Structure 1
């Protein structure tokens, strides 16, 4: 898999599996992440499982909207959470989904990071019978762009706008549903296309090729250097990504697919004890072989990618581990 980083400047409770015995009175830390099947969920649970081996036991509350999880984390209501780099600036400036949240700017300064990772790519998926074989085919069609809350829908619509000039509600109908409803709507023919952030090789995407054929639309070569596209690639937590089309059975786009990549990080807040975060961070990296065995995309998690897309300071506990282990730590991430 070739990843190119273009620098520009339902709710279920799942306890993380314990890999070591702990005393009954051991503290349980709270954690929030996305729904099962999402790469963000996979990574967070892998982190929680490894942290348990270091004596840090995290109860994982899955199926959460990450915009809310980050706010809860910044307020100190959640100890560990999946973090979205593109949301950090919005929270700090009280913009977009945080515009009406009075304390958003104030609490944003409490956000701390542990490690970053490449989560996957935006997959514009359409079934073979939809009539959509290129981006221009979206005109007049119904497209699922993401959930009602969060940043994914805005990003999907921006991607379509840059490539085609199409506006949602004018040139095509943008539908906002939960992730699970989006998958079902495409499978049932209720929508014509779905734009879904997912890990490369996602089983949820692959399932469309098990009973038929589908297309993942590639960003056209002549759009890659477009100024607006470069700006999209350069947003926090974004980048250009390329992967082979035949990674999916039944996928019709031939050759290499160019996509909008997305990156995330595991977050915590300044109030969590330094020793707790140190032990969780140490256990994760010392158990990296187990992490790599969890999912194909997690093999991209290495010491060299530890700070990918991270745009808030490291927690002192994480920083202590990285200094001891000899990681190359960006100066801007030192608290």
Structure 2
């Protein structure tokens, strides 16, 4: 469990960045990540910016659904992408959103990792006046759970199901929109609640406290130890986290808030050259002070957390750097000879 204290909001990063090719680079690499304001976006753009200092030019296409980005990356259609650990097994088994994708199990083996990181927590947010002050109040309400094609919506609905027993479409209305539409719908009063993965202290969450009051619902203590919740905490890329409720201005839940945390990793595919991945990895870690200055949550990125939730083999180029720099690489993450 991690405890977080107050900190200042960081400046937003633009949604689509095309890093200008340097004189020493003959190739622009394609990258995809989530939308602006998402910690996954912040991390990916930070990685791309640092790679640029080593003449590895990554064109970042933001605002993408990561289930699709991972499939495109596995197919070699893009070179770098934000990766969700929980999706690796689904792709390998052709399950859920990959059920009708014939080549998903085959291409899943092409995914390689560069580094993992702690991204944030699922925030169940409701505004003052919504009538929701407790999980039981969700019955009959409209709840934004995530985008239509992503994995976040299923996770959000699982959290609600474990805590309340409520089913979407029966006990409450689950609304699936893009992330930006979800924020706007809550602000405009078109929905009653939003479950949003975000970094602790997110400026996008904080803004609800700048014009009024809001509440982040905490996972009840008697639910934390249940088998179902522990199983959810134990899934790839998931865990339990706690943070102070007053980290946000105008937030009404007192004391510590217990939430579902999420972690991710920067991915690439086996076809990207060792030299390119080595240079990008080295540039990121050798400019770690700049990384930490980008956003508060990135201060948790250290050599000790480099392989957080990584559940695919590391790219050989990344391994080369980590060995040279003296990182302790788990044997399970070393690529097969």
TM-score interval, normalised by the smaller of the two chains: over 0.9
Query: 1: CA distance between counterparts of 2:42 and 2:25?
Result: 28
Give the 3 Å change call, closer, same or farther, for CA 187–79 of structure 1 in structure 2: same
Alignment correspondent of 1:14: 17
What are the within-5 Å matches in structure 2 for residues 85-96 of structure 1? Answer: 85-96=85-96
Shift of 1:54: 1.3
Task: Encode CA deviations 1:52-77: one digit per residue, 9 max, x unaligned.
Answer: 11121101011111001000000001
Shift of 1:25: 5.5
Corresponding position: 1:323 with 2:323: yes
Shift of 1:24: 6.8
Ranges in structure 1 where 5+ consecutive residues have no aligned partner: 5-10
Q: CA RMSD in A?
A: 1.5
What are the within-5 Å matches in structure 2 for residues 188-207 of structure 1? Answer: 188-207=188-207
Query: 1: CA distance between counterparts of 2:70 and 2:2?
Result: 30
Alignment correspondent of 1:278: 278
What are the within-5 Å matches in structure 2 for residues 166-315 of structure 1? Answer: 166-315=166-315
Query: 2: CA distance between counterparts of 1:37 and 1:316?
Result: 31
Query: 2: CA distance between counterparts of 1:185 and 1:329?
Result: 44
Shift of 1:93: 0.5
Corresponding position: 1:165 with 2:168: no
Aligned length, in residue pairs? 326
Give the 3 Å change call, closer, same or farther, for CA 175–30 of structure 1 in structure 2: same
DSSP-derived class of the 1:117 partner: strand
| TM-score normalised by length of structure 1 | 0.95
Ranges in structure 2 where 5+ consecutive residues have no aligned partner: 5-13
Task: Encode CA deviations 1:58-112: one digit per residue, 9 max, x unaligned.
Answer: 0101111100100000000100000000000000000011001110000000000
Give the 3 Å change call, closer, same or farther, for CA 265–227 of structure 1 in structure 2: same
Alignment correspondent of 1:44: 44
Give the 3 Å change call, closer, same or farther, for CA 317–25 of structure 1 in structure 2: closer
Query: 2: CA distance between counterparts of 1:160 and 1:233?
Result: 14
Structure 1 runs, 4 residues or longer, greater than 4 Å off: none
Task: Encode CA deviations 1:182-226: one digit per residue, 9 max, x unaligned.
Answer: 001100111000000001110100000000000000001111110
Alignment correspondent of 1:7: none
Residue 113 of structure 2 contacts residue 312 of structure 2 at CA under 8 Å; is this kept in 1? yes
Residue 3 of structure 1 contacts residue 240 of structure 1 at CA under 8 Å; is this kept in 2? no
Alignment correspondent of 1:64: 64
Task: Encode CA deviations 1:228-262: one digit per residue, 9 max, x unaligned.
Answer: 00000000000001111111000000111100000
Shift of 1:14: 1.6
Alignment correspondent of 1:8: none
